[in-house]
Structure 1
Amino acid sequence: MTYDVAAVRAQFPALRSGTAHFDGPGGTQVPVPVARAVADTLTSSIANRGRTTAAERLADDTVTAARAAVADLLAADPGGIVFGRSATQLTFDLARTLAAGWGPADEVVVSRLDHDANVRPWVIAAEAVGATVRWIAFDPTTGELTADDVAEVLTPRTRLVAVTGASNLIGTRPPIAAIAALVHDAGALLAVDGVHLTAHAPVDVAALGADFFTCSPYKFLGPHCGVLAAAPALLDALRPAKLLPSSDAVPERFELGTLPYELLAGTTAAVEFLAGLSPVDGNRRERLVAAMIALEDHEDGLREHLEAGLRELPGVRSWSRAAHRTPTLLLTLDGHDAADAYRFLADRGVNAPAGSFYALEPSRWLGLGDAGGLRVGLAPYSDRDDVERLLAGLREFLAER
């Protein structure tokens, strides 16, 4: 079935500026229903959660609705959906909590492919208790991280493995389900950074085998906040630091302070917007799966067109080579600074930023240092005209220099 990108684009006021946005991996633009949900919640009669006043009930219902919406998006249990300021904050909190049960005899595994938000929290927590940190390598030539790469660093002492669901730098999608089987056979837990993956493909946390799964609504058309998904029973076994009078219930015991109700309302609206892209009817989970499949097909088609155009440009090198990946390309240009290309394109209304985007480990592993390259990310509102404008801008940049 066709994906009506023109109808999608009409819902994004930011696109009226004429800018071609390839900066979605750092945060997508927001459709009207999401902005309206945030504004309506901020201007409603609202209070701290409760069931006595109408204002309390609105707050409580907003939280409950957001947990249900994200649970449908991730095929997770709403009782295990934790909200926080960001995926980074949630991962730091989780790492500190888990590390309370680790010691010098234990090992924690992180990967060279990950965003630092799924590396440094675990490294810092391990070092604080004297646990050993082991590293999963990936093939810099192909960009692939395999289950065999993980198996090489697992031992009977492994307590947790942290790996990305999709690289925010080069798009690689490791075989998470196969990795999870190995990790669980070793008696360890698996923490998956799903921030980049969730924006581009259907997610089923249980099918992936992730014990902990983080994502960020602002990467899938929503507002700025973070999500941690886990089985309620697993969360119930953990004792995070919290205020004495705050709830000890799960998932509330992991949420510090009053939740941002307006952002949770926006998150629900973002999930509903994605479900509305479905070409078929069904319950919300069914519509979300169909919508993400349609979106994935749309983005992959654009990516293939973009890659064909890039191959015609002299000196342009793509580091996004894995067989299974998101529509996110990291480019370098022989003899040119990616930051110069970024500024050149920006002057022409094409936003494709340069850098390593907090993915220091993969950038360094690829031999690109901390500078990284030019990152081109496709989003639900990307269209063929955007791609042609990017290619034309790069062609002009290369010709003038």
Structure 2
Amino acid sequence: MTYDVSAFRAGFPALAAGTAFFDGPGGSQVPSAVADAVARTMTAGLSNRGRVTEAERRADAVVVDARQAAADLLGADPAGIVFGRSMTALTLDLARTLSRTWHRGDEVVVSTLDHDANVRPWVLAAQAVGAVVRFAGFDAATGELTEEHVAEVLSERTRLVALTGASNLIGTRPPLARIAERVHAVGALFFVDGVHLAAHAPVDVAELGADLFACSPYKFLGPHCGILAGRPALLESLRPDKLLASSDAVPERFELGTLPYELLAGTTAAIGVLAGLGGGTGTPRERVVAGMTAVERHEDGLRRVVEEGLAGLPGVTLYSRAARRTPTLLVTFDGRDPGDAHRFLAGRGVNAPAGSFYAMGPSKALGLGLAGGLRIGLAPYTDRDDVQRLLDGLRAFLG
């Protein structure tokens, strides 16, 4: 199933100005349907959640609907959906909470492929309790991170493995289900940073073997907030810091302060937009899977066009080489600064940023230091004209 990208693009006010956006990995553009949901919620009359007044009931419905929508997106239990300010904030809070179950000498595994939001929180938490941090490497030549890379650093002392679902720098999609089997075999928990994965492919947290999975709606057409999906029984066993009077129920136990109702309404709307791209019927979950399958097919087709175009340009090195990857490409240019390419393209109305994008580990492993490269990120609204403008711009930049 494919969708009409021209009709889809018409729903994005930001696209009307003619800019070609290849910066989706840093945050996608937002359709009118999402902005309208945010505005309606903010102006409809809200109170704190409750069941007495209409405003209370409206706030409660927004939260319940958002939990269900997030569960539909991720194949998760709505009772295990936690909302927060961002994936980073949720992960820092979770790491502090989980570390209370660790002891000196216990081990935590992170990877050199990951964004720092899935490295530093675990490093800080481990340091606070005297746990040991071990790093799983990846093959810089192929971009692959395999189950063997993770197995090399597992032991009977491993308590948690935190791994990306897809690299935000080079797009690599590790074999999560096979890695989960290795992780669970030593009795450890498996945390997946799904920020980059959830924006580009269908997700089923149970099939992936993730005990905990975090993502960010603003990467998939929604507003700025974070989602954590966990097994309810696991969340019940954890005791996060909270105010004395705040709810001790799960998942509210993990949500600090009053939730941003307007952003949750926007998140529900964004997931609804994605579900509509599959053109099918069925349960909400089935529609979301169909929609994300259509997104993946559309983006993969355009990714191949970009890769073929890059192969024909002189002095270009492509670092996104894994067999399974998102439509996110990192390139450098012989003798040229990626930042110069970023600025040159911006002058032609093409947004493709340069840097290492908080993914310092893989950037260093690839020999790029903190400078990184030019990142080309495709999104559900990217079309062939955008791609042609990108390639024409790079051709002009290279002379």
Instruction: Give the alignment's TM-score, normalised by structure 1.
Output: 0.99
The root-mean-square deviation of aligned C-alpha atoms, in Å, is 0.6
Could you tell me how far apart the structure 2 residues matched to 1:61 and 1:298 are?
34
Residue deviations 1:307-338 (CA, integer Å, cap 9, x gap): 10100100111100000000000010110000
Structure 2 matches for 1:105-124, cutoff 5 A?
A: 105-124=105-124
Cα displacement string for residues 60-82 of structure 1 (whole angstroms, at most 9, x for unaligned residues): 00000000000000010000000
Structure 1 segments unaligned to the other structure (5+ residues): none
In the TM superposition, 1:177-326 aligns within 5 A as 177-326=177-326
Give how far 1:2 is off. Answer: 3.3
Per-residue displacement from partner, 1:161-186 (whole Å, max 9, x unpaired)? 00000000000000000000000000
Q: Deviations over 1:20-44 (max 9, x none)?
A: 0000000000001100000111111
Amino acid at match of 1:44: A
Q: Which amino acid aligns with 2:195?
A: V
Name the counterpart of 2:161: 161
How far apart, CA to CA, are the structure 2 residues paired with 1:244 and 1:100?
A: 19
Aligned to 1:86: 86
Q: Any idea what SS the aligned residue of 2:47 has?
A: coil
Residue identity matched to 2:114: D
- The alpha carbon displacement at 1:281 in A equals 1.4
1:141-152 matches, cutoff 5 A: 141-152=141-152
For the residue of structure 1 that corresponds to 2:160, the secondary structure is: strand
CA distance in 2, matches of 1:40, 1:280: 27
CA contact (8 A) 2:22 2:378 kept: yes
| Counterpart AA for 2:283 | N
- On the 8 A contact 2:2/2:278 being kept in 1, the answer is no
**CA drift at 1:3:** 2.1
Partner of 1:7: 7
Q: Which residue of 1 aligns with 2:171?
A: 171
- Whether 2:45 is the aligned partner of 1:42: answer no
2:380 aligned with 1:346 = no
> Residue by residue, what CA displacement relative to the aligned partner does 1:188-224 show, whole Å, maximum 9, x if unpaired?
0000000000000000001100011000000000000
Classify the secondary structure of the residue corresponding to 2:238: coil
Residue identity in the other structure for 1:106: D
State the shift of 1:105 in Å: 2.0
1:361 & 1:108 partners in 2: Cα distance? 17
Alpha-carbon deviation of 1:142? 0.2
**Equivalent residue number for residue 389 of structure 2:** 389
Work out the CA distance in 2 between the residues paired with 1:221 and 1:299. 15
* Aligned equivalents of 1:99, 1:287: Cα separation in 2: 38
2: distance between equivalents of 1:101 and 1:356?
Answer: 33
Report the AA paired with residue 398 of structure 2: L
User: Could you tell which deviates more after superposition, 373-382 or 287-296?
Assistant: 287-296
> 2:59 aligned with 1:75, yes or no?
no
| Displacement over 6 Å in runs of 4+ | none
Structure 2 distance, partners of 1:277, 1:297, is 11
Between the aligned partners of 1:31 and 1:123, the Cα distance in structure 2 is 37
Cα deviation 1:139-176 (Å, max 9, x = unaligned): 00000000010100000000000000000000000000
Equivalences, count: 399
How far is 1:102 from its partner? 1.1
Matching residue of 2:100? 100
Give the secondary structure class of the aligned counterpart of 2:234: helix
Could you report, residue by residue, the CA deviation over 1:48-69 in whole angstroms, capped at 9, with x for unpaired residues?
Answer: 1100000000000000000000
In 2: Cα distance, 1:33 partner to 1:84 partner:
22
Shift of 1:101: 1.5
Counterpart code for 1:218: Y
Distance 1:107 1:308 in 2: 43
The Cα of 1:278 is off from its aligned counterpart by 1.0
CA distance in 1, matches of 2:201, 2:34: 20
How big is each residue's C-alpha offset from its partner over 1:277-314, in whole Å with a ceiling of 9 and x where there is no partner? 11321111111111111111110000001110100100
1:62 aligns with 2:80: no
How far, CA to CA, are the matches of 2:102 and 2:285 in structure 1? 37
Superposed, which structure 2 residues align to 1:326-341 within 5 Å? 326-341=326-341
The Cα offsets for residues 319-362 of structure 1, whole Å up to 9 and x where unpaired, read as 00000000000010110000000000001100000001111111
Query: 1:376 corresponds to which residue?
Result: 376
The runs of 5 or more residues in structure 2 that have no matched partner are none
Q: Quote the Cα distance in structure 1 between the aligned partners of 2:383 and 2:116.
A: 30
Distance 2:281 2:77 in 1: 22
CA drift at 1:242: 0.3
- Determine what percentage of the aligned residue pairs are the same residue: 72
CA distance in 2, matches of 1:364, 1:94: 27
- Partners in 1 of 2:193 and 2:122 — Cα distance? 12
